[in-house]
C-alpha cells in the first residue's frame, strides 16, 4: 500500500487543478485518462455478482431525481455502469477501484467498497446530480482511473439529541450526508440531564417524564427561561427503521447512554436509582445547560436499572460498541451519600474517582454479557481504566495518548479540533447576524479541523498508533434549536473531517482541499443544505519559520498560535487547568544558528491574573526527544538561553494546576 500511496501526489494535483474532478475526501490514487462518458436515458446499471446488486440499486435511486432517467438495474456485466466484486481484499474491506472509459466499472472486495465507489462516481458527475429536481445539463463523466483505501476504520460524526430533539427525517438526512462523505460511524447521544430520547419498554417513565423539560434557555440568555415545555423521543419502531436505514448505507450507529453522570432526566423519572439518602434530594429534568449534580447511585437497584436499559439498547442497536459516556460525573452526591461511602469502604476503594471506575467496570461486565464492548469519554480513565474499554478522547489528546500507550483502543475526538458547536467564524460577526447564531464559544475554523492528525506523529510508536481506531467530530446541540442550525455548524467542516478520516497524510494539502471545497459547497447548495456560506476564515499563525502545538485545548479565539505570533494583544488561553506533563512546544523549521534568549510571561490581567504557570520548566531540544532544562517558572515567568542548534522549545507543566493558564508570548531574541 505504501508503494501505491507514493505514486499519487503529482497525479492528484494535475487532475484536481484541471477542474474536471473535485472529490471529497481525496482518493488514494487518481489519474486522468482523457475523454468523457455521457450518462443517458438509455443507460443501464449492471451488477456482476449478487453482493453487488444493492449498491447498484442504491446508485440508480440516487441518480434518478436529477437526471429523470429510469436507469434500470440488471444482472450481468453489460451496462453503462458495472458493479463487480473482486477477490482482492489486500487493501481492506472498504477499498474500491473505479475506471471510466466507454463505460464505468466499479470493483471492490465487498459490497461496502462498491458503495463508496458509487459515492465517488456521484461526485464525478455535474454538481446538479445532487439536486432533487430534474436538471437539463448533460450528464458527463470524465475519464479517470481511481484506486482508493481509507486511512481509518472509525470515521465518525456525533449528534446530541438530548439538549434538542430532531425528527426522524432529519436523522435520516444526517445519515445520508455522512454516507456522501464516506463517514461510517454515527455516534447518537440519546440521553442527557435535559431529556431522555429513547423508548425503554421496561421503564415507560423515561419518556413520559424524562423526555420533557419545563423550559429552555433562549438564545442570548444562557441563564434565562422561555417557559415552554419541550421534549420528544424516538419509539423503538422508529429506532429500528433508522438503524436499518443506516445499515443500508454502511453506517454503524453507536448509541450513547451517558452514565453515571448526565442522568438527571433518568433520576427524575425513577428517583430510586439516584442517591436518595442525601439532603434535599429532589431530582428533576434539568432546564439549563452545564454539568448538574444528579448522578446514579452505586446501588444494586441502579445497576439493575442499567442492566435492563442496556439490554433493550443492545436489542435495538447491533453495533459492537455501546457508548456509556462517563464524562463530567460530579462526585458531590456520592460524597454525601452514606450508601456510596459504604460501597467505597466495602470495595477497598480510596475515593469517589475509584468509585466511578468501579461503576464503569460493573457496566463493562453487563455489556460483556451482551457480547458488546464498552466505549466512553476519557474521564473513564479516572480511578483506573476498565480492562477492555475503548477511550474516546475529548479533553485534548492526552487521554487518547495515555490509553494507546497502555494498549487500549482509542478514538480521537479532541474539542480543540473536532467540536463543531464552536464558532467557525468570528464570534462578533456571527452574533451581529442575530442571537440565533450563538454558539457555545470557542473558535474552530475549517483549516484547524483539516490540520488534525489523529495518530499524532512523533508521539506514538508504530505499535501504539495501531490502537487509534480513527477520528470523530461532535455536534453538541445546546445552541442548535433547529435542524437548519445543525447544518449551518456541521457544513462545510464535515468535509474537512472526512478528509482527516479517509485521506492518507501524504495526499493531504489544504490549498488543494480548498480548491475542491468550492465544488463541494455547490453540492451542498444543490442538496438544499443550510451550510455556512460565508468566507472561510484562516486561523492564527505562529511567526514564519515556526510551528507551535499544545496538549491543552484552547478557550475562545485564543489558539496556541497566539503565543508566538509577535502580537502584543494576543495570547494563548487554555480551556482547562494544566495537568502534570501538559506542554506547549515551539518548533523551528531550521535549528538556531546562534544562541537566543527565551522569555515567557504567563497570566492575565485583573480577574485572569491568577491564570499563571507556577509549576513548570522551560526546556530546549535539538531532536524533540532529549530535553534540557534552561529555566524554572517563578511568579508565572521564565527566562533562559537556548544554545546554537536548538530546534524545539517546550513549556512543561511539572504539576497539576487549579487554574487555567494564559501564555502571553514566547519571545525568542537572537544574540
User: Do the strands 96-100 and 139-148 form a parallel or antiparallel pair, or are they unpaired?
Assistant: antiparallel
**What pLDDT, on the 0 to 100 scale, is given for residue 540?**
79
Which CATH number is 2-148's, of 3.40.640.10, 3.40.50.20, 3.30.379.10, 3.30.70.100? Answer: 3.30.379.10
Q: Is 238 in contact with 262 (CB distance < 8 Å)?
A: no
Domain with CATH 3.30.379.10 in the chain: 2-148
Residue with cell 492528484: 12
**What pLDDT, on the 0 to 100 scale, is given for residue 605?**
79
User: Do the strands 212-213 and 230-231 form a parallel or antiparallel pair, or are they unpaired?
Assistant: antiparallel
d(CA 662, CA 576): 11
**What pLDDT, on the 0 to 100 scale, is given for residue 16?**
41
Q: Is 355 in contact with 334 (CB distance < 8 Å)?
A: yes
**What pLDDT, on the 0 to 100 scale, is given for residue 671?**
74
- Per residue in 303-361, pLDDT (tens digit) is 999 999 999 999 999 999 999 999 999 999 999 999 999 999 999 999 999 999 999 99
- Per residue in 455-514, pLDDT (tens digit) is 988 889 999 999 999 999 999 999 999 999 999 999 999 999 999 999 999 999 998 999
Q: Is 557 in contact with 430 (CB distance < 8 Å)?
A: no
**Residues of the chain whose pLDDT is less than 70?**
1-20, 89, 556, 607
Residue with cell 460525573: 329
pTM: 0.85
User: In 580-599, which positions are buried (b, 16+ CB within 10 angstroms) versus exposed (e)?
Assistant: eebbbbbbbeeebeeebebe
Helices (H), 151-253: 168-180, 205-208, 236-248
**What pLDDT, on the 0 to 100 scale, is given for residue 131?**
96
Domain with CATH 2.60.120.260 in the chain: 546-670
CATH number of 546-670: 2.60.120.260
Amino acid at each position: 500500500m505504501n508503494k501505491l500511496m507514493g505514486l499519487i501526489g503529482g497525479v492528484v494535483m494535475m487532475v484536481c487543478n484541471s477542474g474536471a474532478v473535485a472529490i471529497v475526501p481525496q482518493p488514494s490514487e487518481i489519474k486522468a485518462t482523457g475523454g468523457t462518458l455521457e450518462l443517458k436515458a438509455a443507460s443501464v446499471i449492471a451488477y456482476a455478482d449478487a453482493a453487488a446488486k444493492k449498491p447498484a440499486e442504491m446508485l440508480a435511486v440516487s441518480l434518478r431525481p436529477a437526471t429523470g432517467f429510469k436507469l434500470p438495474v440488471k444482472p450481468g456485466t453489460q451496462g453503462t455502469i458495472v458493479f463487480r466484486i473482486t477477490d482482492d481484499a489486500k487493501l481492506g474491506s472498504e477499498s474500491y477501484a473505479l475506471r471510466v472509459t466507454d463505460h464505468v466499472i466499479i470493483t471492490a472486495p465487498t459490497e461496502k467498497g462498491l458503495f463508496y465507489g458509487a459515492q465517488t462516481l456521484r461526485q464525478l458527475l455535474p454538481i446538479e446530480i445532487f439536486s432533487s429536481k430534474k436538471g437539463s445539463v448533460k450528464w458527463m463523466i470524465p475519464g479517470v482511473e481511481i484506486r482508493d483505501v481509507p486511512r481509518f476504520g472509525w470515521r465518525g460524526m456525533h449528534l446530541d439529541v438530548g439538549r434538542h430533539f430532531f425528527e426522524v427525517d432529519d436523522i435520516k438526512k444526517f445519515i445520508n450526508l455522512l454516507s456522501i462523505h464516506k463517514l461510517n460511524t454515527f455516534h447518537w447521544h440519546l440521553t442527557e440531564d435535559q431529556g431522555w430520547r429513547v423508548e425503554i419498554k421496561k421503564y415507560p417513565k423515561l419518556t413520559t417524564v424524562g423526555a420533557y423539560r419545563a423550559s429552555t434557555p433562549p438564545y442570548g440568555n444562557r441563564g434565562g427561561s422561555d417557559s415552554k415545555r419541550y421534549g420528544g423521543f424516538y419509539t423503538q419502531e422508529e429506532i429500528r427503521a433508522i438503524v436499518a436505514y443506516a445499515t443500508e448505507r454502511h453506517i454503524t450507529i453507536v448509541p450513547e447512554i451517558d452514565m453515571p453522570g448526565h442522568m438527571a432526566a433518568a433520576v427524575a423519572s425513577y428517583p430510586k436509582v439516584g442517591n436518595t439518602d442525601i439532603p434535599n434530594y429532589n431530582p428533576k429534568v434539568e432546564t439549563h445547560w452545564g454539568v448538574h449534580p444528579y448522578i446514579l447511585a452505586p446501588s444494586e437497584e441502579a445497576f439493575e436499572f442499567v442492566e435492563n436499559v442496556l439490554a433493550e439498547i443492545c436489542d435495538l442497536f447491533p453495533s459492537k460498541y455501546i457508548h456509556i459516556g462517563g464524562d463530567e460525573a460530579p462526585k458531590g452526591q456520592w460524597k454525601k451519600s452514606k450508601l456510596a461511602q459504604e460501597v467505597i469502604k466495602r470495595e477497598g476503594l480510596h475515593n469517589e474517582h475509584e468509585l466511578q471506575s468501579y461503576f464503569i467496570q460493573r457496566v463493562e461486565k453487563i455489556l460483556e454479557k451482551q457480547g458488546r464492548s464498552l466505549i466512553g469519554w476519557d474521564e473513564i480513565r479516572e480511578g483506573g481504566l476498565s480492562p477492555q474499554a475503548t477511550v474516546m478522547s475529548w479533553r485534548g489528546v492526552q487521554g487518547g495518548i495515555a490509553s494507546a500507550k497502555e494498549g487500549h483502543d482509542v478514538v480521537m475526538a479532541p474539542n480543540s479540533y473536532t467540536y463543531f458547536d464552536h464558532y467557525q467564524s468570528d464570534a462578533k460577526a456571527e452574533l451581529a447576524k442575530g442571537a440565533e447564531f450563538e454558539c457555545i464559544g470557542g473558535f474552530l475554523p475549517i483549516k484547524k479541523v483539516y490540520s488534525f492528525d489523529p495518530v499524532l506523529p512523533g508521539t506514538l510508536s508504530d505499535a501504539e498508533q495501531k490502537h487509534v481506531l480513527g477520528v470523530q467530530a461532535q455536534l453538541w446541540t445546546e445552541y442548535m434549536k433547529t435542524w437548519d442550525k445543525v447544518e449551518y455548524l456541521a457544513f462545510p467542516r464535515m468535509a474537512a473531517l472526512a478528509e482527516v478520516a479517509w485521506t492518507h497524510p501524504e495526499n493531504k494539502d489544504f490549498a488543494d482541499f480548498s480548491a475542491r471545497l468550492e465544488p463541494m459547497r455547490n453540492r451542498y447548495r444543490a442538496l438544499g443544505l443550510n451550510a455556512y456560506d460565508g468566507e472561510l476564515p484562516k486561523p492564527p499563525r505562529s511567526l514564519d519559520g515556526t510551528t507551535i502545538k499544545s496538549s491543552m485545548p484552547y478557550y475562545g479565539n485564543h489558539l496556541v498560535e497566539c503565543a508566538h505570533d509577535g502580537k502584543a494583544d494576543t495570547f494563548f488561553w487554555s480551556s482547562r487547568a494544566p495537568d502534570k506533563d501538559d506542554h506547549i512546544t515551539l518548533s523551528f523549521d531550521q535549528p538556531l544558528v546562534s544562541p537566543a534568549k527565551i522569555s515567557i510571561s504567563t497570566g492575565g490581567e485583573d480577574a485572569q491574573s491568577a491564570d499563571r504557570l507556577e509549576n513548570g520548566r522551560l526546556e530546549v531540544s535539538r531532536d524533540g526527544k532529549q530535553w534540557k532544562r534552561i529555566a524554572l517558572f517563578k511568579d508565572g515567568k521564565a527566562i533562559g538561553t537556548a544554545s546554537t542548534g536548538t530546534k524545539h522549545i517546550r513549556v512543561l507543566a511539572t504539576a497539576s494546576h487549579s487554574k487555567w493558564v494564559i501564555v502571553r508570548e514566547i519571545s525568542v531574541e537572537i544574540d
